[in-house]
Amino acid sequence: MIVHSRLGITLTLVCTMNAAHAEEKKWEPNYDESKIPAYTLPDPLVMDDGTTVEDPQQWVKRRNELIALFEQHVYGKAPRKPDDLRFKQFDHTPDALDGKAVRKQIRIDFAKGADAPGMDLLMYLPSKTTKPVPTFLLLNFQGNHAVNPDPGIRLSTSWVRDGYPGVENNHSTEASRGAASRRFPIDMILERGYGLATAYYGDIDPDYDDGFNNGVHAQFDTDPRPDNAWASIAAWAWGLRRAMDYLETDNDVDPKHVFVMGHSRLGKTALWAGALDERFAMVISNNSGCGGAALCRRAIGETVGKINQLFPHWFCKNFTRYNERENDLPVDQHMLIALAAPRPIYVASAEKDRWADPKGEFLSCLHADPVYRLLGTTGMPAKRWPALDEPVHGRIGYHYRTGGHDVTDYDWQQYIDFAEKHFQGK
C-alpha cells in the first residue's frame, strides 16, 4: 500500500512537471510572421446587422455599437460620472521650476467620505502665456512626485509596485522624487506652449490582482460583479475622464485642446478613454501593444491568452473567452483606433518592443483609415509599415522608433509636432 501510494505520488509529480514543461512551451511567444494564424478582420464600417455604413450619420450609430462591443467583450462597462465628484485645489504656485511654470495640484474626490477614493492631479502650465493652454493629460506609473524632482509635489501615499527607485514596502519614499523625470520632458513641453496634467494610476486602482476589493472598485462595484464589469484598464480610463471633468473647469486650460496620452498599459488606457470620451481632442498611444493598438488576431508577441494570464485584473472576465480564440472576437483593435475618428490619433511603436507587436500597431492604424476617410479627413497616408525613425503624420500619425519599450524625447517631439500640425492657431 505504502509503496503503491508512494508510486502514485511520484507519478503525479512527473505528470505535473511534464504539464508545466508543456505549458512553458505553449507560451513561447511567436515572433515569426509566417506563423501568424489566418484571420479576417471585422469591418468597422459594417453594422452588426450587415448594413454598410455609408455616411457620417450612420457612423454615429456604428460608433455606439462598437463601444458597446468593447465594453461587453474587452474592457468592461464603467459607471457614469459620480454625483459627488469634488475638486479641491491644494496648491497654486505661480513661480515653480525656476519661474518657468505655474504648478497646481488638485485633489479629485470620486465620492463623499474620508475613505472615499480619489486622485491628486498635478499640473504644470507655461508661466508666460496669457491665454488658456492646450494640455497633455496622462497617468503616471510611480506617483506624481516621481515626474519631477520639484520638492513642492505632494509625495504619494498610495500603494506602489516594489522595484521602482525609492519605493520600500510598496510605499514611496523621498528618494523616489523625480525617479521618472526622464519620461516627462517638462521643459520641452512648456517651451512649446503646452501644459502637462498627470495623476498616479494607482490612486484610481492599484495595479495588482486584488479581487477588485480596492480603489474605485470597492466604491462603485455591484456584488456579484457581472462578466462585463469594468476591470483596471477601464477604471484608469474612467479616472482620466474625471481629470477631464476637472480640466473643463480650469480657466488656465483650453478644454477644447486636451490631448490624452499614455505609455504601455497606460497607452491601452489612453486609447480606451479617448474612444469613450470625445472631449479629448487628440489621442496618443505610446507602445501600447496587446489590448491597446496591436491587432489581437495577429497573436504575435503578447497574446490575449497571455495578457489575461499575466494580468487577470486588466480586462473584463468576458475577454478570457478569447484566449487562443482571437478570431472569435467581434472586434479588433483597428476599431479602437477608429473610435477616435475624426480626431487626430497617434500610435508609436519601438523597434525592440517586439512583445507589443509594432507591425500590428501600424496595421490597426491602416485598417482604421476607411473610417477616417468616411468622415472626410485623411487617415493613415502610409500603405506600408514605415521604416525606422520615419514618422508619418496624417490625421492618423505613426512612428516606429529605434530603441526599446519606453517614452523618449523623440516620442514627445513627434506628439508636439503632430499637435501643432493639427491645432496650431485653432
Q: Compute the least distance from the CB of residue 363 to ligand GTR, in Å.
A: 17
Catalytic residue among 172, 264, 285, 349: 264
Helix, strand or coil, per DSSP, at residue 75: helix
Q: Are 266 and 232 in contact (CB under 8 A)?
A: no
- Cβ of residue 169: shortest distance to ligand GTR, in angstroms? 22
Give the nearest distance from C-beta 418 to ligand GTR in angstroms. 22
Query: Would you call 405 a catalytic residue per the annotation?
Result: yes
Separation in Å, CA 78 to CA 82, 140, 232, 247, 344: 11, 21, 10, 20, 25
- Judged by beta carbon, residue 106 or residue 271, the one nearer ligand GTR is 271
Rounded to a whole number of angstroms, the minimum distance from the CB of residue 72 to ligand GTR is: 21
Burial class (CB in 10 A: 0-12, 13-18, 19+), 318: middle
Residues in the chain: 426
Considering the complex, what minimum distance in angstroms separates the CB of residue 311 from ligand GTR?
Answer: 7
Nearest to residue 262, comparing CAs of 202, 346, 195? 346
Phi, psi values for residue 338, rounded to 5°: -65, -25
Nearer to ligand GTR, 134 or 239 (CB): 239
* C-beta separation of 244 from 280 below 8 A: yes
Residue 70 or 372 with smaller CB distance to ligand GTR = 70
Q: Of the two residues 258 and 290, which places its CB atom closer to ligand GTR in the complex?
A: 290
Pick the closer one to ligand GTR by CB: 126 or 143: 143
User: Bridge-partner residues for 122, per DSSP?
Assistant: 105, 198
Q: How big is the chain by its Cα radius of gyration, in Å?
A: 22
Decide whether 265 or 343 has the Cβ nearer to ligand GTR.
265
Q: What is the smallest separation between the CB atom of 362 and ligand GTR, expressed in angstroms?
A: 17
- Decide if 286 contacts 348 (C-beta within 8 A): yes
Cα dihedral across residues 367, 369, 372, 376: positive or negative: negative
3-state secondary structure of 68: helix
For ligand GTR, the binding residues (CB under 6 A) are 264-265, 289-290, 302, 307, 310
Task: Tell me the closest approach of the beta carbon of residue 270 to ligand GTR, in angstroms.
Answer: 12
Query: Residue 291 contacts by C-beta under 8 Å, 6 or more apart in sequence?
Result: 74, 233, 268, 304, 307, 314, 315, 333
Would you say 136 or 141 has its CB closer to ligand GTR? Answer: 141
**Phi then psi for 352, rounded to 5 degrees?**
-85, 5
Question: Annotated catalytic residue: which of 127, 181, 393, 405?
Answer: 405
Q: Quick one: 137 or 290, whose CB is closer to ligand GTR? A: 290
Question: Euclidean distance between the first and final Cα of the chain, in Å?
Answer: 84
Residues 6+ apart with CB under 8 A from 303: 29, 290, 296, 323, 324, 326
22 SS3 class: helix
Query: Strand, coil or helix: what is 118?
Result: strand
User: Minimal distance in Å, beta carbon 265 to ligand GTR?
Assistant: 3
| Annotation says 257 is catalytic | no
By annotation, the residues acting in catalysis are 264, 405
